[in-house]
Amino acid sequence: MEKETNQACWNKTGIRGNRACPELAKHIHCRNCPRYESAGRNLFDREPPEAYLEEATKIIAEPYKKEEVRKKTCLVFRLGSEWLGLPVGIFVELTRPRPIRRVPHRSNQVFLGLASIHGDIQLCFSMDALLGVQPAENVKATPAAGVLKRFCVISANNRKWTFPADEVYGLGGYAEHEIQPAPVTVAKTIQKYATGIVVVNSRQTGLLDDELIIAAFERSLS
């Protein structure tokens, strides 16, 4: 009992006690005292509790359970009546629509022209025309979902690309195993650029292949 009392002296006469220990003047703090160090060593060297090894062995022997986590995130937006998503990492910003100026002999259905965003001239494209999405009929957009139209600015190949969206919902997370093949009811043009379908906020959302989209934008410039 005396040994235990001596070992716990830091709680009585040491830094956690009344600080009457004469060794404090030399060591400043109990953790610098050889007695404190010795007590810590004895703590690690003590015999394990009864059944400790058996319990630890049981825990280690249990099969590893890989927890499924949502490893991917897309930004979800609406074109017409179609909810679509692109990898969030390619988005630079979302902004209110700006006037688009056509480029003579260059603008077409997909390449709309040029728009000034914060004084920076951006290439503007129609994702609707590329995917063959028709204007929505009687689609209600709630304020929470973002009723205002937005310009979506994305970046790829050291270049920025901008396309108008009828509505932006926000971020959606999903795991690989949740991706389902695009149903036959989805337009063939969308199927061409989609990697599959996931459910975000109870809506079926088409996941678009960003590399295919960017390549199509680039082709529309030629």
What is the domain partition of the chain in residue ranges? 2-61, 72-221
Q: 183: how many CB neighbours lie within 10 A of its CB?
A: 10
Instruction: Report DSSP state, residue 129.
Output: H
Q: What confidence tens digit (pLDDT) does each residue in 148-205 have?
A: 789 999 998 888 999 999 999 999 999 888 888 877 666 667 888 989 999 998 888 9
pLDDT at 184: 63
Higher pLDDT, 42 or 68: 42
pLDDT at 73: 93
pLDDT at 35: 82
Q: What confidence tens digit (pLDDT) does each residue in 195-219 have?
A: 999 999 888 899 999 999 999 999 9
Largest Cα–Cα distance in the chain? 97
Query: Residue 19 — φ and ψ, nearest 5°?
Result: 60, 30
Q: What is the mean pLDDT of the chain?
A: 83
What would the mean pLDDT of 110-129 be, rounded to a whole number? 94
pLDDT at 116: 94
Burial class (CB in 10 A: 0-12, 13-18, 19+), 213: buried
Q: What confidence tens digit (pLDDT) does each residue in 2-23 have?
A: 444 455 787 788 777 788 888 8
Task: List, in sequence order, every residue forming a beta bridge with 86; answer none if it has no partner.
Answer: 75
Give 197's contacts (C-beta < 8 A, 6+ positions apart). 179, 180, 181, 182, 183, 186, 204, 205, 206, 207
CATH architecture of 72-221: Beta Barrel (2.40)
pLDDT at 8: 74
